[in-house]
Structure 1
Amino acid sequence: MSAANSHSTLPREANSDHHVSPSDIAVGVIIGRSSEFFDFFVFAIASVIIFPHRYFSFADPLTATLWSFAVFALAFLARPLGTAFFTVIDRRYGKSVKLTLALMILGTSTVGMGLIPSYENIGAASIFLLCLLRIGQGFALGGAWDGLPSLLNMNAPHGKRGLYVMVPQLGAPIGLIVASLLFAYLLNNMSQADFLDWGWRYPFFVAFAINVVALFARLRIVVTPEYTEAFDSNELKPSSFRAAFAQDGRTILIGAFVPLASFALFHMVTVFPLSWVYLYTNDSPAGFLVIEAIAAAWGFLAIIASGVIADRIGHRKLLYRGAIAIAVFSLVAPLLLLGSKFGEAIYMTIGAIILGLSFGQSSGAVASLFQASRRYTGSAVVSDLAWLFGAGFAPLAALALSAWLGLWAAGLYLLSGAICTILALRYARKVMARAS
């Protein structure tokens, strides 16, 4: 499918009479997504180097980390429920109320994690509180969807849609870079005892402050009359879950598997390798976090490159080739973690580049599956399900497989995601061809 044909399936909503500033939308999108991903990575890093010691100290290191990854997955289970709840809030009270409430819950849950006493102090209650707050994070993230990525997509100039739809994805490497370097700084400048006692709490408090800034930055955009009219004129209005599944049930199911490979790879180059290095090597976690930050910078550049490439060949063709690259990566790359720091750096860099090229266009591919009037809720639901199926259990599955069968087996979960994406893209193309 050519780039022109790929884009021809998308309506030209950008010709709306209500002019909006793409640069303002882009700023709001990047700030919002960066804050969400920073929260995400703060918890992810703590799941490896903090929580097994503080809340699962009764178990051996591997079992403790597996339990920690089980808690990690709770947010992905709660996220669709949050989307359903906050969609009702959006329809009844508007985006400003929804965003304020969602980010208040997200910030409260995040900062609360930094205040939970250890298992030695309050026993199983510490695990219960951690689970409750993790569910709160996921529930709130379901309400953090503001529709700005879809609005940005619709206001893209002709021939530049790939560049525009990659903008929201830039929040992921930004969040990872900041979170990784912050934890690396604390690890390098504090004793292990002080870090495990109180130093680890600071990133959670920083996350709360960033959420406050992000809230005002996003509200400044979405509540203005100009942008309210733009949302309305582009038919970007929330619909009920029942209506979304009744009208687009098959599309939602297909769409959930379109970005599956990139979402699974997302955790295979962030959370899982940190756990493997921390458990099975003598390398410093601070040193590996620096490697992660450098790899994330390469991922940032790759996301930008994905926009240029997608505008030339089409985002579906790019995602298809990306899924094939992910499948190859899953078969051979995990063994690089058995080697030296050089092998770890190669694993992270190659993985981040492949991820950036694929992840950069995943949201655009999902949005293009829906008609304009049903894109707002449809895109949110598909994103929730894709993160749940592709990423929610990736660290847990990869670590368990590698511990029981060997490091080579860590790629099996990733390989299954790549196969699902390839099949979903082929089927989605046939469905859209019949509909056109």
Structure 2
Amino acid sequence: MSSAASATFASAAFEESPAALSRADTHEDVTPGEIAVGVIIGRSSEYFDFFVFGIACVLVFPAFLFPFLSPLEGTLAAFALLAVAFVVRPFGTALSMAVQRHWGRGTKLTLALFLLGICTVGMAFLPSHDTAGTTAIVALLVLRIGQGIALGGSWDGLPSLLSMSAPPERRGWYAMMGQLGAPLGFVLAASLFAYLYGSLSTPEFLAWGWRYAFFVAFAINVVALFARLRLIVGQSYTQLLQERELQPVAVSRVMGEEGRNVVLGAFAALASFALFHLVTVFPLSWIALHDHQPVTEVLGVQILGALLAAGAVVLSGWLADRVGRRNLLGAMAVLIGVFSLFAPWLLAGGATGNNLFLLVGFVLLGLSYGQASGTVTANFSTQYRYTGAALSTDLAWLIGAAFAPLVALGLSVQFGLVALSLYLLSGVVCTLGALRINRLMERQST
């Protein structure tokens, strides 16, 4: 199933790319639809890779790398490794901006491709703790650091270009396209793991079955990044990026001149980013540790939820163009806050409650996450938007999502599921506060 999906995905990418290339050769204008192709390709491949690692943190790494710990402690240790990539990602962004300033966007993405490919396929060959001891854990840590740096280097500026090129009355619609990568990537990753986990015995799955997911992730990353290279190195794209002044600027300069907008952009999306992990990776770990449902059944419900989320992402684009992107983001933050109050009751309600938590959570995630990208980063001056948008995204991932599974699982075990509610509510408060501050800043500037 996953192989067919990835082949279809790659085929679609290359069917669109020649059109963009032909426009580059004939100096015709690049349309927002063509830019959206590159955005969807890039985001889907990144999210697939991300979810493959996240699901492995629940189903593989606790027993594979931490057999000397309890299942709970092993899962928490794996979640700590999950967070590492988000911690180093801003450093990858800073390094990649320097590379691009000296050697160009194509060189930067090629290096990111090389590093990401090596790290992802390296995980597929990882030895177990029984075979290599602590060396296996250190090896995964190093590879995870490499993935984080590579993801920072994969920023191509296409989301900002898409936002600036889209018609003003349809910016919400085009903004949601890149966000579709999250549910699409999750569907592919969860489907692949559900098939492998359900088809193999536990010893077979832990010995070699899980490795196929990382081989597929490597293949999709290679195809997607080359497809993006074919799009952005064309002359029309290069000229359009230059005309929009979407060029890399030193991180220190951006933070010095517009650090406030970087922070506001990150906090404005915090409710969405907090919910992101709490309906994908966290519930899988909570339900698996407490034996509430079979793993394949949970993954099946999550796949259905991700499909609903994809529809909700599309709906968010339609809604945002009618009520305003920031108004929609604020309204969704309030609904996430309401949802958080019911979360403990749902997760303690057996299979029915678990399923309802997942399905409702995914719909809310789609509606909020669909407009979480760039809602406030439009405040950046044009010359700082390329680097500022990347840094805002990195910071949102770091603050909102990096430690979410680790903190939510650890606190829920220690203090009960009410801790999950408080965690989500903290993200809601941050989002509403950032949106309010942003509105006041706009009024002062007019």
Separation of aligned partners in 2, 1:311 and 1:201 = 43
Contact 1:55 1:126 in 2 (8 A): yes
The match for 2:343 is: 333
The match for 1:433 is: 443
Q: How far did 1:404 drift?
A: 0.5
Separation of aligned partners in 2, 1:346 and 1:294 = 11
Separation of aligned partners in 1, 2:421 and 2:292 = 23
Deviations 1:63-83 (A, max 9, x none): 111111111110010100000
The match for 2:157 is: 147
The match for 1:4 is: none
Q: How far did 1:188 drift?
A: 1.3
The two structures have a TM-score, normalised by structure 2, of 0.92
1:178-217 matches, within 5 Å, as: 178-217=188-227
The match for 1:12 is: none
Q: Give ranges in structure 1 of 5+ residues lacking alignment.
A: 1-16
Deviations 1:329-359 (A, max 9, x none): 1121232122232222211111111111111
Separation of aligned partners in 2, 1:409 and 1:258 = 22
The match for 1:88 is: 98
Q: Are 2:379 and 1:369 aligned? A: yes
Q: How far did 1:46 drift?
A: 0.2
Pick aligned residue for 2:420 from 410, 425, 436:
410
Pick aligned residue for 2:241 from 231, 240, 246:
231
Q: Are 2:283 and 1:267 aligned? A: no
Deviations 1:117-164 (A, max 9, x none): 111111111110111111111111001110111111111123111000
Query: 2:248 aligns to what SS in structure 1?
Result: coil
Deviations 1:345-402 (A, max 9, x none): 2111111111111111111303312122211000000100110000000000100111
The two structures have a TM-score, normalised by structure 1, of 0.94
Identity among equivalent pairs (%): 52
Q: Are 2:313 and 1:303 aligned? A: yes
The match for 1:177 is: 187
Q: Are 2:68 and 1:61 aligned? A: no
Q: Are 2:354 and 1:344 aligned? A: yes
Q: How far did 1:435 drift?
A: 2.1
Q: How far did 1:282 drift?
A: 4.2
Pick aligned residue for 2:31 from 5, 18, 21:
21
The match for 2:137 is: 127
The match for 2:121 is: 111
Q: How far did 1:299 drift?
A: 0.5
Q: Are 2:44 and 1:34 aligned? A: yes
Separation of aligned partners in 2, 1:239 and 1:133 = 28
Q: For the aligned residues, what is the CA RMSD?
A: 1.2
Letter in 1 for 2:30: V
Q: After the TM superposition, which parts of structure 1 deviate over 4 Å for at least 4 consecutive aligned residues?
A: none
Query: 2:168 aligns to what SS in structure 1?
Result: coil
Letter in 1 for 2:326: R
The match for 2:20 is: none
Pick aligned residue for 1:161 from 165, 171, 189:
171
Letter in 2 for 1:54: F
The match for 1:422 is: 432
The match for 1:251 is: 261
Deviations 1:2-26 (A, max 9, x none): xxxxxxxxxxxxxxx9721222211
Contact 1:398 1:411 in 2 (8 A): no
